[in-house]
Amino acid sequence: MKKILIVCTGNSCRSQMAEAWIRKFSGNQVQVFSAGTHPEKVNPVAVKVMQIECVDISHHKSNLVDDFKDVDFNFVITVCDDAKEKCPHFPSVAKKIHKSFPDPAKAKGTDAEILETYIKVRDMLKSYCKDFLQHELGINVNENIFTWIEIPVLDFSRAKHFYESLLGFPIHESRIGGMQHGFWGHTANQVGGAIVKGEGVPSQKGALVYFDGGNDLNNYLQKVEKLGGKIILPKTLIAKEIGNYAIFLDTEGNRLAFWSKN
């Protein structure tokens, strides 16, 4: 199994997100680690923007790159210029790749503007990690057509306790778009999702399964109607950092949804 190390200065944001993307897209076909030349605590905003993508890095810890000097990596990827200069020597078998990404921790402006910067860097890393796996390792990256499961709840604390106890993994609270969310992350064997409480949640009982609407949500909605389904909520913005969704009934009366960033 190929071993990959991703390095940045603090191992708090960019390298952590890249590690998570490669682990997700590889389906655990590689061993991936991340480290920093001067490690710091994992950035909470990075955790938040990855949660939006159903990827949980809240359990990640920052590592010192020197601790990996004796590991025979196949690839060492530096994602910032400072890390490239200060990264220690690794055995010659390791292919060194440098791809610099902006440091979102240096972003200035309103909270919304700073969050948008983190999202842009997250998406840049996502695209790069897909390309790396496909071109360097020949791993075909196919994201799940099912992207998300949403469970509307009346009592958030009660539901959080129920699902954490039932499923055996932590649920992380966040408020987005005026709604209270409890996220769990996507893994190779598990679709991400959330328990949700708020006025924006449809009143019907039951879980809501989201399909990936790609970049052309309206096209999918037209297909639904042509095939005999019914649109019950047209394309609607959830929140700028999340994207749009639409809810429909299939020909059997099941309530389903599409999600799209655009």
Which residues are catalytic, by number?
8, 80, 87
C-alpha angle 209-211-216 in degrees, rounded to nearest 5: 145
Q: Which helix (H) or strand (E) holds 75?
A: strand 75-78
* Main-chain dihedrals φ then ψ at residue 187, nearest 5 degrees: -130, 180
Distance CA 171, CA 6 (A): 27
Number of neighbouring beta carbons within 10 Å of residue 178: 10
* DSSP H stretches of helix in the chain: 14-26, 44-52, 81-86, 111-137, 156-167, 217-226
Distance CA 221, CA 82 (A): 47
